[in-house]
Structure formats: C-alpha cells, structure tokens
Amino acid sequence: MTDLTYIKAFLLLPQSSNITTHFTLETPYGLIVELKTGEKLSVRLKDNPSATKSQYAPDSASKIQPNTQPTGSPESHQESTPTVDTASDRQSSNMGYGYAIFTDWGTSGLWYDSNWPGNDPEIDFHIDLEDLEDRYPAAWLHAFARWIGQYDDSFVAGECHLSSFGGLFPDLEERQAWLVEGALLAAWLALQSDVGHVSYHPIGRNWELEREGVAASLVEIVQNVMDDPRIDSESEQEGD
C-alpha cells in the first residue's frame, strides 16, 4: 500500500466521524503548508516560521483572479516579459526584488519584473539561475530548474517547437500537479526577506503573490487549477 493510498483513506474519516485531520506538506526547499480541520491554511518557511508565517483569512484577503492572456502560435514562443500592475490601489511594498515566473521554452523561466520599482532598471530581465546561487539555497534552485525542465520536456514532446500545435501536459492530473508545484515554488520565493513581489505566469495564466498574502494567493491558485481543467497551452493559444 502506497503512502498516497493511506492519505486518501484517512481523508475520508472526517466525513463520518469527529476525527480532526491535520495535513502538513513540506517541500525539499523548506516551504511548509499546513491545514487543520476547521482552521485556516498556513504557509511558512521551515527555517524562520515566526517571520514568514502567512495564513489564509477569507474576510481580509483580497480576491486574486487569474489573468488569461493569448500566447500566439507555438512557433512564436518568444513572448514579451510579463509586467505587474502598479496602480495605486495595489497594497504592495516597493522594497525588494520583483520576480516573474514566466514559462517560455528555452529560458530559465525566471525574470526580473520590468515594472517593479525595487528592481535595477539597468539589469538584464532574464535571470540565469546560476547567478542566484549566492542569494538563494541550492535546494530551491534545483527544484525550480527541475520544474522548468518538465515544461521544456512537455513542449518538445508535444512538438510545439515544430509548430504542430500539440498541447502541453495533455494528462489532466499531470498538468494540475505541475501548476500546483510551480505555485509552491512561487510561494517560497514570495516569502523571502529580499522579495517584494512574485508574478506566477505559467502557460497563459497570471497570479500575483506577496509576502503578507501568500496563503490566500496559494488557495486561489489551487482552486483555479483544480476547477479549470482547460489550463493548457493549446486552449490558451486558441483563445478558449
């Protein structure tokens, strides 16, 4: 019996008894997500829980809506770097780096946001992950590189680079798992003390994360991913 089978069996118990479920997810790079029956989702860093704890509070968290953007045909995968809305109604700090996780075949997938006030306007917006080795731990960088590698592999497997209009991650569960894993990577990055904002932009969708609202953002992303089975490159390109 696999670990997943045990988990599925235990999750059925609160439906027919007074048993409390306490779910904890810990990533190899130190992000901890906790959910207890009747309580709010909690997101924190393992090494510094008091300074980085974020809870999902429905009454105070702003509604985070994904932005759908057409991406054009696969042969023109070189898209413009995503930017963030800097309107006055956004409650965000101008301090720290602003990152964009933007999936584009043949790139690292990580960029400095061109509109974020905390970024140096003279730097190259595309980020080589090796340049961050002195800034962030190897565990997160390796996990991020692996995640982007899965995107590149799916892009080639679907022959998107040959203009065949094949779909990315054709298996629904695989696609959902990939999107949620990317959200966890984005959440960890948003909780870093030197980060002011993270834009998570996988295959045509866009979500924003900031330290104080990471838990609410993660809840919204997961809900959108699980409720919309059409989140794939082909549907976005066709404008569905």
Q: How do beta strands 31-36 and 42-45 pair?
A: antiparallel
Q: Give the mean model confidence (pLDDT) for residues 21-38.
A: 92
- Cα–Cα dist 188/219, whole Å: 14
- Cα–Cα dist 100/196, whole Å: 11
Assess whether pLDDT exceeds 50 at residue 149: yes
Write down the pLDDT at residue 216. Answer: 96
Instruction: Check if the beta carbon of residue 101 is closer than 8 Å to that of residue 190.
Output: no
Q: CA 37: distance to chain centroid?
A: 24
**pLDDT (tens digit per residue) in 83-96:** 444 333 333 445 79
Instruction: Check if the beta carbon of residue 186 is closer than 8 Å to that of residue 209.
Output: yes
Assess whether pLDDT exceeds 70 at residue 152: yes
- Cα–Cα dist 179/207, whole Å: 11
**Residue 124, CA distances (Å) to 81, 114, 121 in order:** 11, 9, 8
pTM of this structure: 0.75
Q: Give the mean model confidence (pLDDT) for residues 10-30.
A: 82
Q: CA 11: distance to chain centroid?
A: 25
| Rounded (10°) CA dihedral 171, 223, 21, 25 | 70
**pLDDT (tens digit per residue) in 60-75:** 333 333 343 333 333 3
